């Protein structure tokens, strides 16, 4: 997990013995870092660019799949209606 110091804070990494960089660093989430998070000494760094790209790709794929399903369902309904209408016409003509 990538953590960085909260604004106005300096937090020493107990493993490396150095201050956590202002832009953050990958750390193993253990009891020490959980306490720092809980106390507000550090905040999690999120990569908004990758997250936004992944979300957009997922949304586009979902929309495409939904549109495809709707089109297929509409075609099947139209075909079934046409077949029923055709059968009714044939039955009436036979009578």
Do the domain assignments include residue 9? yes
- Does 69 have pLDDT greater than 60? no
CA 63 – CA 71 distance, rounded (Å): 12
Do the domain assignments include residue 77? no
Domain extent, residue 36, equals 2-44
CA angle, 17 then 18 then 24, to 5°: 125
pTM score above 0.85: no
In this prediction, residue 16 has a pLDDT band, given cuts at 50, 70 and 90, of very high
Count of the separate structural domains present in the chain: 1
Do the domain assignments include residue 6? yes
- Does 41 have pLDDT greater than 70? yes
Do the domain assignments include residue 29? yes
């Amino acid at each position: 997990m990538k953590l960085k110091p909260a604004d106005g804070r300096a937090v020493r990494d107990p493993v490396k013995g150095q201050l956590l960089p202002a832009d953050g660093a990958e750390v193993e989430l253990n009891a020490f870092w959980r306490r720092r998070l809980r106390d507000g000494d550090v905040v999690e760094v999120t990569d908004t660019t990758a997250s936004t790209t992944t979300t957009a790709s997922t949304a586009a794929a979902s929309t495409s799949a939904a549109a495809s399903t709707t089109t297929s369902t509409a075609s099947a309904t139209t075909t079934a209606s046409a077949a029923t209408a055709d059968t009714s016409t044939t039955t009436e003509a036979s009578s």
